[in-house]
Amino acid sequence: MNNYISENKDRFLSELLDMLRIPSVSADPKFKEDVLRTAEFVKQRLIEAGADNVELCETAGYPIVYGEKIIDPNLPTVIVYGHYDVQPADPYELWNSPPFEPVIKDGNIYARGACDDKGQMYMHVKAFETMMRTNTLTCNVKFMIEGEEEVGSSNLGTFVKENKEKLKGDVILISDTGMLGNDTPSITAGLRGLSYVEVEVTGPNRDLHSGLYGGAVANPINILCQMIASLHDENNRITIPGFYDNVEELSAEERAEMARAPFSLDKYKKALDLGDVHGEAGYVTMERNSIRPTLDVNGIWGGYTGEGAKTVIASKAFAKISMRLVPNQTSEEITEKFQKHFESIAPASVKVLVKPHHGGEPVVTPTDSVAYKAASKAYEETFGVKPIPVRSGGSIPIVAMFKSELGLDSVLMGFGLDSDAIHSPNEHFGVFNYMKGIETIPMFYKHYAEMSK
């Protein structure tokens, strides 16, 4: 099997680069044709790899690519989930090479989606091809590759609800997370949830001259800043009433266990060029970004942002704000609490609109399941080290949905690194990681089939 992989390495890479050339940005309607072309690309590659019943399942949004290989109804069935859409690539000017013209440099593939999630998703297609060609497939497999993950998987829930029979299986297998390092493999055993809102603050009904009106009317940008600033207290705790009500508090033992993962604050600060870290009092960095809920402004805009100076009081100011949630918080609860609070703190001199975007629920995946143990053995086999279970700060909202709708746990076999700059300019994915994924995934199938007997 490893022979097959090494013999086909160049093709495995060039196919991925072909897919990365298609700008499948789901958030921006102007890339619609490209997103659809990417779905078609994945469909064709699944057919070529040997999958049956491959189809584009239409949804209200972008289609879900489905394909399967049922070799024996008595064997366990692995459902592979991934996504072919990518984050927007702007600001373009910060990329060292254009985001949709992939290049391999210093052992890394640079492109939007190289890691998240085209690269990681495609490892599964190539691992499947390898098992088919080398006659080593030990489980049934069903692919479900969506095109709306980066905009909240809006239509996946409906698809899953309406296709429970088709999606019968034993475990969901996902590579859309990272690991601690190439010599410290890890498996994600928990994910934060997400509430995402857009807010609009309106002051005067039109832009005003700041000389003639400055000081006399509420400036919506100043007010928005005040409202945003008030969402954290001096300990960097979030001030929304009831925000922490349901937060799962970890025991001292659990926190001590977490603290054993290798982490260097100096290296962390150096890598990001930070004078200091910043976060909730009473928690260390690795807790702040995993077991604690957060509130971040993801975008803000208003007034004159061009070159030079314009003395204007804007009529409106906007922000996109997201909150990461931890177990026992729910997206609906937190979005509601945010909305109520944000409206309540607006002064009479402005009007406020809160528009909820998609949300997602936090999850903790069991580390004592057969699937987790099979994944652990797979990494151990290819990396030579037993992987560490970690809680990630990211969100894959559909993991909770798979559990509630299909009753299935997910196993999160990520091969990316924190430094891959996903969602950032110069996103990349190690060729080492891509190939290691293609090697490790078949090991999972092998151990999962054996341990399921």
Could you give the string, one character per residue 74-103, with x where binding to a second copy holds by CB under 8 A and - elsewhere?
Answer: -------------xx-xx--x---------
- Of residues 5 through 24, those in contact with a second copy by CB under 8 A are none
Query: Quick check: 158 binds a second copy (CB under 8 A)?
Result: no
Binder among 10, 74, 93, 216 for a second copy (CB under 8 A) = 216
Q: Cα–Cα distance between 99 and 114 in angstroms, integer?
A: 9
Lookup result for tokens 């049956």: 52
- With respect to a second copy, which residue has the nearer C-beta, 70 or 259? 259
Binder among 75, 125, 374, 422 for a second copy (CB under 8 A) = 422
Q: Cα–Cα distance between 448 and 149 in angstroms, integer?
A: 27
Q: Cα–Cα distance between 275 and 36 in angstroms, integer?
A: 44
Q: Which own/partner pairs from 252-256 qualify as long-range (CB within 8 Å, at least 24 positions apart)?
A: 255/287
- Structure tokens belonging to residue 313: 């009081």
AA letter at 101: E
**148 within 8 A of 62, measured Cβ to Cβ:** yes
Query: Quick check: 217 binds a second copy (CB under 8 A)?
Result: yes
Closest CA to 116 of 201, 164, 178: 178
Binder among 78, 171, 179, 218 for a second copy (CB under 8 A) = 218
Catalytic residue positions, numbered: 85, 149
- With respect to a second copy, which residue has the nearer C-beta, 31 or 122? 31
Binder among 50, 157, 279, 389 for a second copy (CB under 8 A) = 279
Query: Quick check: 151 binds a second copy (CB under 8 A)?
Result: yes
Return phi, psi of residue 303, to 5°: 75, -155
- Of residues 360 through 399, those in contact with a second copy by CB under 8 A are 392-395
Query: Quick check: 27 binds a second copy (CB under 8 A)?
Result: yes
Q: Cα–Cα distance between 377 and 388 in angstroms, integer?
A: 11
Q: Cα–Cα distance between 83 and 39 in angstroms, integer?
A: 9
Lookup result for tokens 């909202």: 397
What is the bridge-based pairing of β-strands 140-146 and 363-364? unpaired
- Structure tokens belonging to residue 75: 């064997």
Binder among 9, 37, 166, 423 for a second copy (CB under 8 A) = 423
Q: Least separation, in Å, of the C-beta of 283 and a second copy?
A: 8
Length of the chain: 453
What is the bridge-based pairing of β-strands 108-110 and 363-364? unpaired
- With respect to a second copy, which residue has the nearer C-beta, 14 or 298? 298
- Of residues 288 through 317, those in contact with a second copy by CB under 8 A are 288-289, 292-314, 317
Binding segment for a second copy (CB under 8 A), chosen from 76-84, 194-202, 331-339, 406-414, is 194-202
Query: Quick check: 194 binds a second copy (CB under 8 A)?
Result: yes
Q: Cα–Cα distance between 421 and 112 in angstroms, integer?
A: 9
Query: Quick check: 275 binds a second copy (CB under 8 A)?
Result: yes
In DSSP terms, 437 is beta-bridged to none
- With respect to a second copy, which residue has the nearer C-beta, 168 or 209? 209
Q: Least separation, in Å, of the C-beta of 400 and a second copy?
A: 15
Binding segment for a second copy (CB under 8 A), chosen from 40-48, 119-127, 136-144, 414-422, is 414-422
As a whole number of Å, the end-to-end CA separation of the chain is: 23
Q: Least separation, in Å, of the C-beta of 313 and a second copy?
A: 6
- With respect to a second copy, which residue has the nearer C-beta, 73 or 91? 91
